[in-house]
Amino acid sequence: MKKLFSELDLKYKLAIIAVLLGVVALFAGDPYNGTSVKVNVKDIALSTVKESDKINPTDLADWIIQGKADYVLVDLRTPDKYAEYTLPEAENIPLVELPNSDLLRNQKIILFSDDEVVAAQGWFILKAKKYNSVYILEGGLNGWKDKVVFPKVPANPTKDELAKFEKLRAVAQYFGGDLVTETSSSEIRKEIKLPTSTVAPQSTQPTTGSRKFTAPKKKKREGC
Amino acid sequence: MNAPFYKFGLFNTDVSLIFAFIIGIGFGFALERGGFGSARILAAQFYFSNMRVLKVMFTAIVTAMLGLYYLSVIGFVDLSLIYISETYILPQVIGGLILGIGFVIGGYCPGTSVVSFATGKLDGLMYILGVMFGIFIFGEIFPFITDFYYSTNMGSVTLPQFFHLSYGMVVFLVVVMAVGAFALAEWSEKKFAHRNPENQL
């Protein structure tokens, strides 16, 4: 038998090896099960959400405007609140359903809720399930509103600041908001209702400003 | 240390580009060594007189499949972290047919055209220019075909999921299919040898 094998052409040897490996594979089981790892409770307890696991709302606003789509936005709040207002392209997965979600491990996942607490809980759940790139939105939706949609600026800005505010205003208007001066911030906040649509209407798109903006494109994931 | 290294954060995006470059060079080298830098060999595939394309490609598939399967069974590779592109069945069938037509006409696929140009073949260069022109045309008409482009989405579906078979069974079937295809290829090369221009020289 051994002599017979060694006399064969290389291509037949390789074919036989391949078939043998294929036959063994019939009984070797599911490769996805082989990679399931037990959660180290201590590790998870010791790990905390680091600064590097947070996404700044201003950065996220830039990504959305540029149409960058290498991430998945997950809204952890209730469907009611999600219907009321959410971020562009965000998916709604309430926290209780997060453990059974069909999120993929190869995606960059950004979690958010009203503040950071629920997002951090979601972060722990996904980390425990061996998701590697999980991030939370810094300050949650409240932070988003304060920093992007209704950014506060001093009442009497200097010339240098004005240029900076132009950009802030352009971004804010893109998401249906505007600048809010510090002195009047509290009253204005009550008057202005957040826009219900997730993407700002065409008319509010900035026509001036130092940067050119493009509308968010249809979601396209990584790949060739 | 587990694979995929990039997804486990062993190196960052910048370094990953260096690795991509090295792997790309290696891929080109393998294609050239396989004889894929020659449009004659590639085109002969479609006249069944030289089945090298099928043999090389099926060998690559079987090697990669067996390697990935066993490495993940022993827990070295986390398959769940490997990106699987989504299936848009209808647009992909149409795209595949267009690529196939271009393959028969030009004698190259995009990768092998670059390989042949790297060895100084001018038809390879023409092919690359054609590919770029095609990309330009596609970009221009994309707004009109966007709906079709994103239609019939089946998600990231794999063969075991689609056929409700176990992973091991699919691995086995693909190996059997490959061996059968190799035997058939040998037979067809003999049968259609008269069509091969290289035999007539």
> pLDDT of B120-162, one tens digit each?
999 999 999 999 999 999 999 999 998 899 888 888 888 888 8
Tell me the three state secondary structure of residue A27.
helix
Mean residue pLDDT of chain B comes to 88
Tokens of residue B171, six digits = 């691995």
b (16+ CB within 10 A) / e for A141-177: bebbbbbbbbbebeeeeeeeeeeebbebbbbbbbbbb
- If phi > 0 it is left, if psi is from -120 to 50 it is alpha, else beta; for residue B4 that is beta
Using CA coordinates, name the residue in chain A closest to B174.
A22
Round to whole Å and give the CA distance between B28 and B118: 9
Tell me the three state secondary structure of residue A93.
coil
Is the peptide bond prior to A195 cis by the omega test (within 30 degrees of 0)?
no
The string of pLDDT tens digits covering residues B85-126 is: 889 999 999 999 999 999 988 889 888 999 999 999 999 999
- Residue A54's DSSP bridge partners are A136
pLDDT for A89 equals 82
Q: pTM for this structure? A: 0.60
A48 backbone dihedrals φ, ψ, rounded to 5°: -130, 160
The string of pLDDT tens digits covering residues A91-129 is: 888 888 887 777 887 788 999 988 888 888 888 888 877
Chain B residues touching residue A130 (CB < 8 angstroms): 78, 80
Among candidates A18, A30, A218 on the partner chain, residue whose Cβ is nearest the Cβ of B166: A30
The more confident residue out of A162 and A184 is A162
Burial of B68 (0-12, 13-18, 19+ CB in 10 A): middle
Mean residue pLDDT of chain A comes to 74
Task: Report yes or no: B60 at the A interface, CB cutoff 8 Å.
Answer: no
Q: What is the mean pLDDT of residues A42-48?
A: 69
The more confident residue out of A221 and A113 is A113
Using a CB–CB cut-off of 8 Å, the residues of A that contact B are 11, 15, 18-19, 21-23, 25-32, 34-35, 104-106, 130, 132-133, 218, 221-224
Q: Provide the ipTM.
A: 0.72
